[in-house]
Amino acid sequence: MAGPSPLKFDPAIEKLAYMNKNRWRYFRWTPRTAFVTFMFVGFVPGVMLYAFGATDGKYNMRAKLRGDTIKEWVDPSTNGCVDTEKGHAAVGVYHNAQKDSDTVSILWGRQQGFLPRVSRAVASMPIGLLKSSPTTIDGYDGKGLTNAMGILGRNKGLEPWTLIFKHDATISSHMESASTWAPRPAKVLRSFYKVTLKSQYGGLGDDYVNATVELALIMSDMPHWAINRWLCTGLEHQSLEVNKLLAEEILPSASEDEKVAALSAHYQSSYVAMIVSLNYMDSKMKHYLQSMHVSLRRPEILCTGILLKKRGHAEPSWWNKEAVARLRVQEAASLSSEHDWRFTISKLLGLNLWPKGFEDHQSWW
């Protein structure tokens, strides 16, 4: 039933509402309206469009750690990058044993000016292995598999089927019991990991599969800080520094046969050096605070020498040069003094016994 309403209309508010509703009827171009229209329709959007276009793809602020660059591109004038088409020296390129090869092996990384990217090896992993707590489809711990498959996607080199890793039950038992990470509880997953990794890498041969299994198992047993130190030191790759030292400083005066033999042995023993550097880290790496003061290395010169000796080569002319001898001693000192890594290197490269005094500064061949 209609009646008097307590609501009283304010004429000023009503006038303002009518004016806003019909503003368009009374619009006129004036210097002020022209200026405002130009600023908000043309100038401001134009400046924003230019800024977005000029910086598109050049910066990435997601998931950055302290000290990481936010740049998505590399300025050649400030980063030391080179242009190989102009005759500059190649960056991050390994010296190949076969000089006439049409392909090269490149060390990828920010140190060489490459942008950080997720490799296809990681992107193609099962979704269960990409979680923060990786698991296999059967519910097993997948941390070791995730780390191993990510590493193996980037460190194969040109001929991964030639990599040496002579693994058997004897050396398996020795590596599990005489290890920095003993008793290596993940060893119970060996059979499961082997089936999984053989389906992935079986085409590269048994030596390669055995190395991948050992890599996954060791990384399952290592603490995260040890894995992080190892990766940040760049030990997942064959050492570019050692490769360049051999090819550019040590081997130029050697015979052509010695050059080919040394560079081939250096590459083909690289997975043994990788596994040994993990399994026989200094025991201080078991403790987070102590681990920060440990020097990590791959025993690449030692492995190269053992493989050359296994192949019946006479003592190379460069073997006892000062730079090589010093590096040999440093490699031995970086490995655990509490466990027998010498036996492991010998067996994995096919030599039954470690030559006495082989790692000394004045080495006995």
Q: What percent of the chain has pLDDT over 90?
A: 47
Give the pLDDT of residue 7: 78
Give the pLDDT of residue 162: 93
Q: Output the 3-class SS for 251-271.
A: CCCCCHHHHHHHHHHHHHCHH
Q: What is the pLDDT of residues 50-79, one digit of tens each?
A: 998 888 877 777 766 777 777 765 554 544
How big is the CA angle at 357 (ends 356 and 363), to the nearest 5 degrees? 130
Higher pLDDT, 162 or 104: 162
Provide the sign of the torsion angle of the four alpha carbons 340, 346, 350, 353, taken in this order. negative
Place of tokens 């500064």: 361
Give the pLDDT of residue 331: 93
Place of tokens 């096919």: 350
User: Average pLDDT in the 293-312 region?
Assistant: 93
Give the pLDDT of residue 55: 83
| Phi/psi at 281 (5° precision) | -65, 155
Q: What is the pLDDT of residues 8-45, one digit of tens each?
A: 789 899 999 988 899 888 889 999 999 999 999 999 99
The answer to whether residues 229 and 285 touch, using CB atoms and an 8 Å cutoff, is yes
| Phi/psi at 168 (5° precision) | -145, -175
- Give residue 144's identity as a one-letter amino acid code: G
| Phi/psi at 185 (5° precision) | -60, -25
User: Average pLDDT in the 295-317 region?
Assistant: 93
Is the model's pLDDT at 240 over the cut of 60? yes
Is the model's pLDDT at 332 over the cut of 60? yes
| Predicted confidence band of residue 348 (pLDDT cuts 50, 70, 90) | very high
Is the model's pLDDT at 1 over the cut of 90? no
Is the model's pLDDT at 189 over the cut of 80? yes
Model confidence pTM above 0.85: no
d(CA 333, CA 343) in angstroms, rounded, equals 16
Give the pLDDT of residue 211: 95
Give the pLDDT of residue 88: 53
User: Average pLDDT in the 189-210 region?
Assistant: 91
User: Average pLDDT in the 86-114 region?
Assistant: 70
Give the burial string for 138-156 (b: 16+ CB within 10 Å, else e).
eebebbbbbbbbbbbbebb
Count of Cβ atoms closer than 10 Å to residue 358 Cβ? 19
Mean pLDDT of the chain: 86
| Residues 6 or more apart in contact with residue 80 via CB below 8 angstroms | 113
Count of Cβ atoms closer than 10 Å to residue 186 Cβ? 20
| Residues 6 or more apart in contact with residue 200 via CB below 8 angstroms | 149, 212
| Predicted confidence band of residue 203 (pLDDT cuts 50, 70, 90) | very high
The answer to whether residues 186 and 221 touch, using CB atoms and an 8 Å cutoff, is yes
Q: What is the pLDDT of residues 113-172, one digit of tens each?
A: 666 666 777 777 788 888 888 888 878 888 889 889 888 888 888 889 999 999 999 999
Give the pLDDT of residue 344: 95
Residue 30 DSSP label: -
Compute and round to an integer the Cα radius of gyration of the chain.
Answer: 31
Give the pLDDT of residue 222: 93
